[in-house]
């Protein structure tokens, strides 16, 4: 299966503005590039690429004053398989966890575990440890929170999502992550592309999708409390403690996003024309 994906962003900057972009993908198992997601700019701007502390690929640049279009149009070959279920994956006692995993047990900007600790143990502490308990958390979040783009708020924390019972995909992920961490299950935030492959097409415009990875059985496993089903063709961009670590753009000065387009579609038999 071939999947075409990409983005088109238009920023307007009244003065030269330094920025960090996090838009390059990390391919998963069963995925290979057919056409790499090379970033294209409408103006000649030097780019510096580096890897952050979570292993994400970041691009550092300074936009001159005026409008600048940033885009990529790429394609991968994907196995077409659903994301795997490993029902036997076990939880680890904290003493067994690798050092680099411990940070994903801690409270973070959007995953305020201190507020949710008692509720997490009341709701899920009695359940058998392991994959099925994490799935029970996802089931709860999926049913407890109403999804609507009108409910988007960049400052909403996991506990606010719990009590307000509304949000967007990042809020679903933050709440599930926080509940896992309260139970000493390492969990981290992920963002990426998720097309409507194998499911009914959504009417809303395409956007980047938030989900989570949970450390069970000695490795990271993906869960999606917003959709709460295994999906085909997800392409990850970045991972971090929460959405604050994986912003697609961070501007150190005035920058107005005037255009935002994202696409990811099954592309077998389609002619490829690069955007940008």
Whole-angstrom Cα distance, residue 6 to residue 260? 11
Q: In this predicted structure, what is the pLDDT of residue 237?
A: 97
The whole-number average pLDDT for the span 180-204 is: 94
Q: In this predicted structure, what is the pLDDT of residue 25?
A: 96
To which H or E segment does residue 137 belong? Answer: helix 131-144
Reply yes or no on whether the pLDDT at 270 is more than 80.
no
Q: In this predicted structure, what is the pLDDT of residue 64?
A: 96
Q: Tokens for 195, please give them.
A: 């097309």
Q: In this predicted structure, what is the pLDDT of residue 268?
A: 77
pLDDT in tens, 159-187: 999 999 999 999 999 999 999 999 999 99
The residues, any chain, with a CB within 8 Å of residue 53's CB and separated by 6 or more, are none
Q: What is the DSSP string of 16-39?
A: -EEEEE----B--TTEEEEE----
Whole-angstrom Cα distance, residue 209 to residue 173? 10
The whole-number average pLDDT for the span 231-235 is: 96
Reply yes or no on whether the pLDDT at 230 is more than 60.
yes
Could you count the other beta carbons within 10 Å of the beta carbon of residue 231? 18
As a whole number of Å, the end-to-end CA separation of the chain is 24
Global pTM value: 0.94
What confidence category does residue 202 fall into, taking pLDDT thresholds of 50, 70 and 90? confident
Q: In this predicted structure, what is the pLDDT of residue 119?
A: 98
What confidence category does residue 274 fall into, taking pLDDT thresholds of 50, 70 and 90? very low
- 248: closest CA among 208, 194, 275? 208
Reply yes or no on whether the pLDDT at 272 is more than 80.
no
Reply yes or no on whether the pLDDT at 275 is more than 50.
no
- Are 169 and 126 spatial neighbours (Cβ–Cβ below 8 Å)? no
Q: What number of helices (H) and strands (E) belong to the chain?
A: 4, 15
- 179: closest CA among 105, 86, 98? 105
Q: How many residues does the chain have?
A: 276
- Are 117 and 123 spatial neighbours (Cβ–Cβ below 8 Å)? no
User: Average pLDDT of the chain?
Assistant: 95
Q: In this predicted structure, what is the pLDDT of residue 204?
A: 80
Reply yes or no on whether the pLDDT at 95 is more than 80.
yes
> What 3-state DSSP class applies to 160?
helix
What confidence category does residue 236 fall into, taking pLDDT thresholds of 50, 70 and 90? very high
Q: Strand 219-223's sheet: what is its strand order?
A: 219-223, 209-216, 187-193, 235-240
Q: In this predicted structure, what is the pLDDT of residue 258?
A: 96
The CA R_g of the chain, rounded to the nearest whole Å, is: 19
Long-range residue pairs from 128-132, CB within 8 A, at least 24 positions apart, any chain? 129/90, 129/91, 130/88, 130/89, 130/90, 130/91, 130/216, 131/85, 131/86, 131/87, 131/88, 131/89, 131/90, 131/216, 131/217, 131/221, 132/87
pLDDT in tens, 35-83: 999 999 999 999 999 999 999 999 999 999 999 999 999 999 999 999 9
């Amino acid at each position: 299966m071939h999947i075409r994906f990409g983005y088109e962003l238009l920023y307007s900057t009244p003065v030269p503005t330094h920025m960090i972009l996090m838009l390059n993908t990390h391919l998963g198992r069963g995925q290979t590039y057919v056409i790499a997601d090379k970033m294209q700019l409408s103006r000649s701007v030097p780019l510096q690429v580096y890897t952050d502390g979570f292993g994400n690929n970041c691009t550092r640049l300074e936009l001159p004053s005026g409008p600048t279009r940033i885009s990529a149009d790429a394609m991968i070959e994907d196995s077409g398989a659903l994301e795997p279920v490993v029902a036997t994956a076990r939880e680890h006692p904290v003493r067994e966890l690798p050092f680099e995993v411990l940070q994903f047990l801690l409270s973070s900007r959007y995953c305020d575990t201190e507020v949710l600790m008692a509720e997490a143990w009341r709701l899920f502490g009695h359940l058998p440890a392991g994959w099925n308990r994490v799935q029970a958390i996802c089931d709860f979040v999926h049913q407890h929170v109403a999804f609507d783009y009108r409910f988007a708020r960049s400052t909403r924390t996991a506990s606010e999502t719990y009590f307000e019972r509304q949000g967007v995909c990042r809020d679903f992920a933050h709440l599930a992550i926080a509940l896992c961490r309260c139970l000493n299950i390492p969990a981290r935030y992920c963002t990426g592309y998720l097309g409507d492959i194998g499911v009914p097409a959504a009417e809303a415009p395409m956007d980047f999708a938030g989900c989570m990875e949970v450390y069970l059985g000695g490795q990271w496993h993906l869960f999606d409390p917003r959709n709460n089903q295994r999906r085909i063709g997800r392409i990850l961009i970045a991972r971090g403690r929460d959405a604050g670590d994986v912003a697609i753009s961070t501007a150190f000065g005035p920058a107005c996003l005037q255009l935002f387009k994202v696409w990811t579609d099954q592309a077998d038999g389609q002619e490829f024309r690069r955007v940008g």
